[in-house]
């Protein structure tokens, strides 16, 4: 759509600007302040320069958390994206069951994060949880509080449980926008099921899939509450992801300087990814505009 | 290639249709000759697309059979019927190049690479897209995309029929003419059976040898463009074909005379058993005159280029008359009809004149 | 039924989603003795005692009230400020609009953990600590950008000619906006409100950090089921079930727009 140039539109944006400035810029200034200073309390600060950044960049603890975080995000993406697509392809297209599936699938998305954690904490327990009890009943040595592998499996299954529906719902919306004529043409061209997926469904899902991947990447990169409730970051540091580590550092140990430096670097990574996200998405909006609507 | 026979065919989208009105397609028997160019003409929602989808196998009819040649294909899937179809909106595989798009139906049928290459080249030449063969289909204009759809429809030499579902809807008016001519030429060249669905009479009449007119789920007439013009089998055909459509006037018919409600009499070109119905006359076959005929009130005269269209009233009933260019109309207030061109209708269906023994 | 294979897939997937929730419901209907004692798929002796505990104890049920208060405050604030901004982004181009839009987006993407401590200090220093408005404002950090994005997506679908016709007809901007434009994007406002509600409802890190007693959310209250006499599993499960219900109720109304909302109005 061609837009009118009008700098008075700034007035309409002012309320948003004020509120976000208050809740984003001011706190960020505090973080920056901590990151470059040292303090012994009493609001007295000493210039520390890049010391904290230096410390953090060379911190084994941070590297380990980052490694765990990257591995976690990679695994859940590798599971949730194909599974989400698969589920979307199998969803009913219309009628009561379509609505039913939509509602049932959206349900996990609306459960407070710590309740999600609680559900799985209970569900996985060997003494009172269905999952833990069943697994140990099958003779498996499963205990997520002692065994790092079991803890990882639990946290990953929990995330898959919690968020696969998001990917599936997005893909479903993409699939719904494919005109019936495409499927009919494919039948006439004698395309195989795979070819229909590869040449019709996948290209049409590309846009929403990109959104799904990036949302999942970013949200998993910031994950805090759910694993914290289930494992508390343990056993040991096995499931201590970036946010958990950050909160431990800032609130637990009150190492404000390093925590702030950590925050800023964390934030910069997210900023970078957001920029890629934004660029790709606005590019997509442009290329989509020549597709006729209402088919 | 094969003759396509529809036998006692009917379709309802409802599981248990009650009356006539529940049928999207009312029972019909129809044969499409091998190699014919047909147009399926009718207003939106008259069942044209339903009929087309039944032939291509995208829809299974609730009643009756579909035969290709002597083979009953009613229960066969689309792919087994070897049909090509071009849809209202261009359907192209966006991520493929134009070449891959054209080759797709052949690849799926396992044809060998050398043949595919040659055939794609040939089709590209026909639709005039040789230079764009290696471009991605995405981002092409709507009419280029529709040409690709067309090309994909024709790329298989052995198709039983090519079906077109209002294929020129999204095409710019000045491109329409070119594509239509191209289609006609392709039909002459390859002799495929072609069925062309449209609601545009110009498209139908210029494309087809035989036009099938549909109205409310029923085939009301099948004939050459000339048949449709001169002897419409149903008042709908009379209205729908021609611009403006046929004039219909209530009348009592007996022998070779029609008596209009006011008592005026009109001579007919044939003999009819007594009936109460309508007479139909094309605006082209009515003429203004100074004496004789019937008195009319002229409301408006429109100059539409090659002729003038006179909007008149005959005893309160609107009547259109075409006056040839150059004919003076001033002062003329009576109308005469060409008796041989008058058709007689009872219950909206045409009644043929009796043979005179 | 030719949909059978996909019906099986969907049944399995929905089972996977529902079984853990069922287990929570199951536990909430048992006594603690039954939970830790006998292992059973159904409550042998269903009891509502756990729910009674929550609904009669103010320190429990005030958690719900607190959560609902700040969630509603946040939704109202977010939608109110986002509406004019979304209109500006969808209709006008102005200096720095692209950068501003991007900057808003980054806030949706910023980890709450980064902001937890600074928020705590900021709100403590201005005396807003442990108030509902503090949580509502903190959640604006990610909900305002989200609301702007969703609303902008919906507004783009409204032809510009409508605005122009209204101005020609002599409508002032505020009157046009409230009387004509807002009804046109009513579904968009509904979806944006739903998402603000949802993200504010499920977020815990910030709401827990910014409250202690008076505005403590239910989700945080749940952590106190650990007591001297051991874990009160039944009450914990009942509290969990009660947090799921508001979400489940509102989903039904926006079921057809959920995906569009998650895609920030870009489907």
In a domain, B263, yes or no: yes
Comparing A55-64, B45-54, B61-70, C6-15, the range with the smallest average pLDDT is A55-64
Domain count of chain B? 2
How many helices (H) and strands (E) in chain A? 14, 3
Digit-coded pLDDT (tens) for B277-301 = 999 999 989 888 888 788 888 888 8
Show which subunits contact B, needing at least 3 CB pairs below 8 angstroms. A
Average pLDDT over every residue of A231-251: 79
Name the minimum distance, in Å, from the CA of A217 to any CA of chain C: 10
Q: Are residues B179 and B255 in the same domain?
A: no
**Ordered domains of chain C (ranges, CATH):** 1-47 (no CATH), 58-227+236-262 (1.10.3720.10)
Where is A99: in which H helix or E strand?
Answer: helix A96-106
Question: Phi/psi class of residue B268: alpha, beta or left (left: φ > 0; alpha: ψ in -120 to 50)?
Answer: beta
Give the mutation candidate from A190, A203, A209, A284 for the B interface (greatest B CB count, under 10 A): A190
Which residue in this structure is represented by tokens 């000339």? B226
- Cβ atoms of A171 and A212 within 8 Å: the answer is yes
Confirm or reject contact between A189 and chain B (CB < 8 A): yes
Query: For residues B179 and B175, what is the distance between their CA atoms, to the nearest angstrom?
Result: 6
Domain end residue (candidates: B183, B205, B240): B240
Name the minimum distance, in Å, from the CA of A274 to any CA of chain B: 26
- Cβ atoms of A87 and A168 within 8 Å: the answer is yes
Confirm or reject contact between A288 and chain B (CB < 8 A): no
Range with the largest mean pLDDT of A103-107, B175-179, C69-73, C157-161: C69-73
Confirm or reject contact between B84 and chain A (CB < 8 A): yes
At how many degrees (to 10) do helices A26-36 and C112-125 cross? 100
Q: Is the pLDDT of residue A294 over 50?
A: no
What pLDDT, on a 0 to 100 scale, did the predictor assign at position C111?
Answer: 78
Cβ burial of B1 (10 Å; 0-12, 13-18, 19+) is middle
Query: For residues A289 and A125, what is the distance between their CA atoms, to the nearest angstrom?
Result: 52
The CATH number for B36's domain is 3.40.50.300
Q: Which residues of chain C have a CB within 8 Å of the CB of A119?
A: 20-21, 23-24, 240
Name the minimum distance, in Å, from the CA of C244 to any CA of chain A: 5
Closest C-alpha among B260, B248, B257 to residue B295: B260
Show Cβ contacts of residue B355 under 8 Å, excluding neighbours closer than 6 positions: none
Nearest chain C alpha carbon to A217: C109
Nearest chain C alpha carbon to A228: C205
Q: Are residues B255 and B209 in the same domain?
A: no
In percent, how much of chain C has pLDDT > 90? 10
Interchain proximity B58–A184, CB inside 8 Å: yes
Contact present, C and B (at least 3 Cβ pairs less than 8 Å): no
Digit-coded pLDDT (tens) for B124-172 = 888 888 888 888 888 888 888 888 888 888 888 888 888 888 888 877 7
Interchain proximity B152–A189, CB inside 8 Å: yes
Cβ burial of C197 (10 Å; 0-12, 13-18, 19+) is buried
Average predicted confidence (pLDDT) for chain A: 81
Name the minimum distance, in Å, from the CA of A203 to any CA of chain B: 7
**Ordered domains of chain A (ranges, CATH):** 1-49 (no CATH), 59-288 (1.10.3720.10)
Give the mutation candidate from A1, A4, A6, A9 for the C interface (greatest C CB count, under 10 A): A9
Average pLDDT over every residue of A128-152: 83
In a domain, B357, yes or no: no
Q: Is the pLDDT of residue C253 over 80?
A: no
Could you check whether the bond before residue B32 is cis, i.e. omega within 30 degrees of 0? no
Contact present, A and C (at least 3 Cβ pairs less than 8 Å): yes
Q: Which residues of chain A have a CB within 8 Å of the CB of C23?
A: 119, 122-123, 129-130
Name the minimum distance, in Å, from the CA of B80 to any CA of chain A: 8
Q: Is the pLDDT of residue A146 over 90?
A: no
Q: Which residues of chain A have a CB within 8 Å of the CB of C219?
A: 112-115
What's the pTM? 0.79
Range 87-146 of C in CB contact (< 8 A) with A: 87-95, 97-98, 100-102, 104-107, 109-119, 121-122, 137-138, 140-141, 144-145
What pLDDT, on a 0 to 100 scale, did the predictor assign at position C223?
Answer: 67
Q: Is the pLDDT of residue C18 over 70?
A: yes
Q: Which position has the higher pLDDT, C32 or A171?
A: A171
Eight-class DSSP state of A40: -
Interchain proximity C204–A87, CB inside 8 Å: no
Domain end residue (candidates: B240, B259, B287): B240
The tokens for B301 are 């005269």
Closest partner CB to C107 (pick from A20, A120, A207): A20
Strand extents, DSSP E, A21-93: 37-39, 45-47
Q: Is the pLDDT of residue A49 over 70?
A: no
Interchain proximity C85–A166, CB inside 8 Å: no
In a domain, B258, yes or no: yes
Q: Are residues B105 and B197 in the same domain?
A: yes
What pLDDT, on a 0 to 100 scale, did the predictor assign at position A229?
Answer: 82
Q: Read out DSSP for A236-275?
A: TTTT--HHHHHHIIIIIS--HHHHHHHHHHHHHHHHHHHH
Give CA angle at A249 (A246, A251), nearest 5°: 95
What pLDDT, on a 0 to 100 scale, did the predictor assign at position A290?
Answer: 40
Closest partner CB to B78 (pick from A187, A192, A287): A187
Digit-coded pLDDT (tens) for B232-273 = 999 999 988 888 889 999 999 988 888 888 888 888 888 888
Show which subunits contact C, needing at least 3 CB pairs below 8 angstroms. A
Interchain proximity A189–B58, CB inside 8 Å: no
Q: Which residues of chain C have a CB within 8 Å of the CB of A12?
A: 84-85, 87-88
Q: Are residues B46 and B184 in the same domain?
A: yes
Confirm or reject contact between A284 and chain B (CB < 8 A): no
Instruction: Tell me the torsion sign for CA atoms A145, A146, A148, A153.
Output: negative
Q: Which residues of chain A have a CB within 8 Å of the CB of B123?
A: none
Give CA angle at A7 (A6, A10), nearest 5°: 120
Task: Provide the CA A43 distance to its chain's centre, in angstroms.
Answer: 36
Average pLDDT over every residue of C41-67: 83
In a domain, B292, yes or no: yes
- Cβ atoms of B27 and B10 within 8 Å: the answer is yes
Average pLDDT over every residue of A182-210: 87
In percent, how much of chain C has pLDDT > 70? 92
Query: For residues C50 and C233, what is the distance between their CA atoms, to the nearest angstrom?
Result: 9
What pLDDT, on a 0 to 100 scale, did the predictor assign at position C226?
Answer: 55
Eight-class DSSP state of C88: H
Q: Are residues B103 and B9 in the same domain?
A: yes
Q: Are strands B294-295 and B334-337 parallel, antiparallel or unpaired?
A: antiparallel
Query: For residues A75 and A81, what is the distance between their CA atoms, to the nearest angstrom?
Result: 10
Average predicted confidence (pLDDT) for chain B: 86
Q: Is the pLDDT of residue C94 over 70?
A: yes
What pLDDT, on a 0 to 100 scale, did the predictor assign at position A268?
Answer: 82
Closest C-alpha among C120, C90, C103 to residue C205: C120
In a domain, B158, yes or no: yes
Could you check whether the bond before residue B22 is cis, i.e. omega within 30 degrees of 0? no
Q: Are strands B37-41 and B210-215 parallel, antiparallel or unpaired?
A: parallel
Domain end residue (candidates: B215, B240, B265): B240
Q: Are residues B255 and B340 in the same domain?
A: yes
Digit-coded pLDDT (tens) for C195-235 = 888 888 888 888 888 888 777 887 777 766 555 556 678 88
What pLDDT, on a 0 to 100 scale, did the predictor assign at position B296?
Answer: 87
Q: Are residues B68 and B178 in the same domain?
A: yes
Which residue in this structure is represented by tokens 């997509």? A284
Query: For residues B218 and B23, what is the distance between their CA atoms, to the nearest angstrom?
Result: 10
Query: Maximum distance among all alpha carbons in chain C?
Result: 75
Nearest chain C alpha carbon to A256: C117
Q: Are residues B43 and B115 in the same domain?
A: yes
Q: Are residues B227 and B306 in the same domain?
A: no
Query: For residues B1 and B81, what is the distance between their CA atoms, to the nearest angstrom?
Result: 11
Q: Is the pLDDT of residue A293 over 50?
A: no
Closest partner CB to A6 (pick from C14, C90, C92): C92
What pLDDT, on a 0 to 100 scale, did the predictor assign at position C7?
Answer: 87
In percent, how much of chain A has pLDDT > 90? 11
Q: Is the pLDDT of residue A292 over 60?
A: no
Q: Read out DSSP for B201-260?
A: HHHHHHH-SEEEEEETTEEEEEE-HHHHHHS-SBHHHHHHSSSS--EEEEEEEEEEEEE-
Q: Read out DSSP for C20-60?
A: HHHHHHHHHTS-HHHHHS---SS-SS---HHHHHHHH-HHH
Q: How far is CA B71 from CA A147, B39, B76, B314, B356, in A?
A: 67, 24, 10, 55, 44
Q: Are residues B210 and B61 in the same domain?
A: yes
Q: Which domain holds residue B287?
A: 247-351
- Cβ atoms of A155 and A226 within 8 Å: the answer is yes
The CATH number for B283's domain is 2.40.50.140
- Cβ atoms of B321 and B310 within 8 Å: the answer is yes
Q: Which position has the higher pLDDT, B5 or C98?
A: B5
Q: Which residues of chain A have a CB within 8 Å of the CB of B91?
A: 179, 181-182, 185
Interchain proximity A199–B93, CB inside 8 Å: yes
Comparing A279-293, B62-76, B197-211, C85-99, the range with the smallest average pLDDT is A279-293
H runs (alpha helix) in chain B: 48-56, 78-81, 98-108, 113-127, 142-154, 173-190, 201-207, 225-230, 235-240
Closest partner CB to A102 (pick from C18, C148, C255): C255
């Amino acid at each position: 759509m061609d837009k009118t140039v009008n700098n008075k539109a700034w007035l309409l944006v002012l309320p948003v600007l004020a509120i976000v400035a208050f809740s984003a810029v001011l706190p960020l200034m505090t973080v920056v302040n901590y990151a470059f200073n040292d303090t012994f309390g009493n609001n007295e600060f000493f210039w520390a320069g890049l010391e904290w950044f230096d410390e953090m960049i060379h911190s084994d603890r941070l590297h380990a958390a980052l490694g765990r975080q990257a591995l976690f995000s990679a695994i859940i993406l590798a599971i949730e994206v194909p599974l989400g697509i698969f589920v979307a392809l199998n969803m009913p297209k219309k009628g009561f069951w379509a609505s039913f599936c939509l509602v049932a699938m959206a349900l996990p998305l609306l459960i407070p994060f710590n309740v999600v954690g609680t559900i799985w904490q209970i569900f996985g327990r060997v003494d009172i949880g269905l999952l833990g009890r069943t697994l140990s009943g099958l003779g498996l040595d499963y205990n997520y509080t002692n065994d790092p592998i079991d803890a990882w499996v639990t946290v990953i299954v929990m995330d898959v449980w919690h968020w696969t529906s998001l990917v599936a719902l997005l893909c479903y919306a993409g699939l719904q926008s494919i005109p019936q004529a495409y499927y009919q043409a494919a039948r006439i061209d004698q395309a195989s099921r795979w070819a229909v997926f590869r040449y019709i469904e996948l290209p049409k899902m590309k846009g929403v899939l990109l959104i799904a991947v990036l949302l999942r990447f970013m949200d998993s990169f910031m994950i805090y509450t759910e694993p914290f409730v289930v494992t508390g970051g343990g056993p040991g540091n096995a499931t201590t992801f970036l946010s958990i580590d950050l909160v431990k550092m800032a609130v637990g140990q009150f190492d404000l300087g390093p925590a702030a430096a950590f925050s800023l670097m964390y934030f910069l990574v997210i900023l970078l990814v957001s920029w890629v996200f934004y660029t790709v998405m606005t590019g997509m909006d442009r290329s989509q505009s020549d597709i006729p609507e209402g088919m | 290639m094969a003759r396509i026979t529809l036998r006692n065919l009917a379709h309802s989208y409802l599981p248990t249709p009650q009356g006539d009105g529940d049928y999207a397609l009312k029972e019909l028997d129809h044969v499409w000759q091998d190699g014919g160019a047909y147009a399926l003409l009718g207003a939106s929602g008259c069942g044209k697309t339903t009929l087309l989808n039944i032939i291509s196998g995208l829809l299974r009819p609730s009643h009756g059979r579909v035969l290709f040649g002597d083979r009953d294909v009613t229960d066969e899937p689309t792919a087994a019927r070897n049909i090509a179809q071009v849809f209202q909106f261009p359907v192209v595989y966006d991520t493929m190049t134009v070449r891959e798009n054209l080759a797709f139906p052949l690849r799926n049928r396992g044809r060998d690479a050398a043949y595919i290459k040659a055939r794609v080249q040939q089709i590209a030449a026909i639709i005039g897209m040789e230079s764009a063969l290696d471009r991605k289909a995405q981002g092409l204009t709507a009419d280029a995309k529709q040409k690709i759809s067309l090309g994909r429809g024709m790329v298989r030499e052995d198709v039983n029929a090519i079906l077109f579902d209002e294929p020129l809807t999204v095409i710019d008016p000045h491109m329409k003419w070119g594509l239509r001519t191209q289609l006609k030429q392709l039909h002459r060249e390859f002799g495929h059976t072609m069925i062309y669905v449209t609601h545009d009479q110009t498209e139908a009449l210029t494309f087809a040898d035989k036009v099938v007119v549909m109205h409310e789920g029923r085939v009301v007439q099948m004939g050459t463009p000339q048949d449709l013009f001169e002897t419409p089998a149903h008042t709908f055909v009379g209205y729908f074909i021609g611009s403006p459509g046929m004039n219909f006037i209530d009348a009592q018919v007996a022998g070779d005379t029609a008596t209009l409600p006011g008592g005026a009499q009109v001579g007919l070109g044939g003999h009819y058993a007594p009936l109460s119905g309508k007479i139909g006359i094309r605006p082209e076959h009515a003429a203004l005159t100074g004496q004789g005929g019937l008195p009319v009130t002229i409301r408006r005269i429109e100059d539409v280029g090659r002729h003038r269209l006179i909007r008149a009233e005959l005893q309160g009933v609107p009547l259109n008359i075409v006056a040839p260019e150059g004919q003076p109309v001033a002062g003329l207030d009576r109308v005469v009809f060409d008796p041989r061109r008058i058709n007689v209708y009872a219950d909206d269906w045409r009644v043929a004149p009796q043979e005179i023994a | 039924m030719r949909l059978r294979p996909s019906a099986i897939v969907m049944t399995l997937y929905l089972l996977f989603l529902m079984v853990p929730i069922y287990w929570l419901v199951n536990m909430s209907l048992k006594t603690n003795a039954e939970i830790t004692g006998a292992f059973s798929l159904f409550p042998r002796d269903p009891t509502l005692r756990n729910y009674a505990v929550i609904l009669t104890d103010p320190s429990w049920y005030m958690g719900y009230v607190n959560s609902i208060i700040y969630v509603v405050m946040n939704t109202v604030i977010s939608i109110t400020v986002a509406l004019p901004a979304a209109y500006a982004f969808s209709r006008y181009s102005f200096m720095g609009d692209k950068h501003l839009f991007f900057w808003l987006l980054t806030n949706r993407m910023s980890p709450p953990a980064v902001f937890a401590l600074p928020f705590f200090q900021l709100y403590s220093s201005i005396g807003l600590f442990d108030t509902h408005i503090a949580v509502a404002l903190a959640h604006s950090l990610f909900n305002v950008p989200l609301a702007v994005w969703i609303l902008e997506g919906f507004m783009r679908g409204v032809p510009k000619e409508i605005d122009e016709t209204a101005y020609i007809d002599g409508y002032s901007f505020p009157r046009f906006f409230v009387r004509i434009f807002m009804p046109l994007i009513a579904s968009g406002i509904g979806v944006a409100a739903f998402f603000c509600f949802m993200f504010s409802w499920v977020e815990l890190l910030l709401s827990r950090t910014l409250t202690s007693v008076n505005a403590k959310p239910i989700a945080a209250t749940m952590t106190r089921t650990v007591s001297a006499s051991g874990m009160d599993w039944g009450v914990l499960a009942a509290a969990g079930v009660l947090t799921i219900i508001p979400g489940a109720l509102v989903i039904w109304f926006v079921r057809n727009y959920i995906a569009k909302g998650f895609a920030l109005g870009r489907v």
